[in-house]
Each structure stands twice: as C-alpha cells, then as structure tokens.
Amino acid sequence: MKKPPYGVKLHYKVVFPYRFNMGGIYKLKRLIIGMLSLFPVPFLFHFYEYNSHLARQHADFLFPVFLVFIIVVGISSRNIKFPLFFGLNFIMTVISLIFGYFYIVDDGGWFKPFGRDAAIIFVSIIYILGQLIIRVFSKQGHTNSQSNK
C-alpha cells in the first residue's frame, strides 16, 4: 500500500456487523433472566400432570423437571432485586392462570377440593419459595467463593 501524500490522513474504521460491548451483554443477560422468570412452570406442571392422568400414565418427569426449573431460575435470578423478582413471579403466576383457563379443563374430580386455579396458585407459591431458597444458598456460596480469593 502506498503512503498518502503529505498532509493527508487516512482514517481506517473497521465496521463489524455486531458491536461487542459489555452493556449489550448485560442487557442480553437481563432479557434471558426475565424470560426464564416468566416461563409458566406452574401451568406446565399441571398440564403435564393432568394429561398424564388422562392417558393413565405416571408423570415420571414431573418432579425432576420441576426441581431443575427451580434451581436454574433461582440461580439465574440471584442478582435481581426483590421487587423485580416478586413482580416477575406474580406475572408468571397470572400467565399460568390464563394458560390454565384455556388449556386445562377444570375437572372437579382431579382438582378437588379447591379447583384448578387454586392448584396452579399453590404450585406457584411452592415454585417461588424454592427459588427464594436457591437464591439464598447461591448468594452465600457466591460470596464465600469471592471472599476466598
């Protein structure tokens, strides 16, 4: 490549299709945490359980998958603030109730004595409490590992 004439400056600017900056990664991380927190796990719990009941099969993967969701969402949401945590879980409960209304029949024999909606809310409370327990333990483990360095 030739040198430019005297007094002329060349400005080379490499253009990447995606800019790699840390602000974008944190926004993506927050988006993923929000999507995980809004995933309607209580609805899916009862949808799988009720459809297994109708097919006269055992719901073998119900409890292990439920625990995996509690652990994954609890660990991923350990750094968000409590008002946002409870707000996202409240919205998740409402989404689960809406999906339950449309996709799960309110079978009085299966959801007795309280009904489908109360069962979804009960599982949602258990799910939120499990996330809180995982948050506490993961924060303690995270701060202990940071202090050992």
Check residues 2 and 121 and name the one with the higher pLDDT.
121
| Mean pLDDT calculated for residue range 7-34 | 66
Q: CB under 8 Å to 116, separation ≥6 — which residues?
A: 46, 100, 104, 105, 106, 107
pTM: 0.77
Residue 26: what pLDDT?
78
Residue 70: what pLDDT?
96
Residue 149, CB-side half-sphere exposure with 13 Å CA sphere: 4
Report pLDDT digits (tens) over 48-90: 999 999 999 998 999 999 999 999 999 998 888 999 999 999 9
pLDDT band at 17 (very low <50, low <70, confident <90, very high): low
Termini Cα distance of the chain: 50
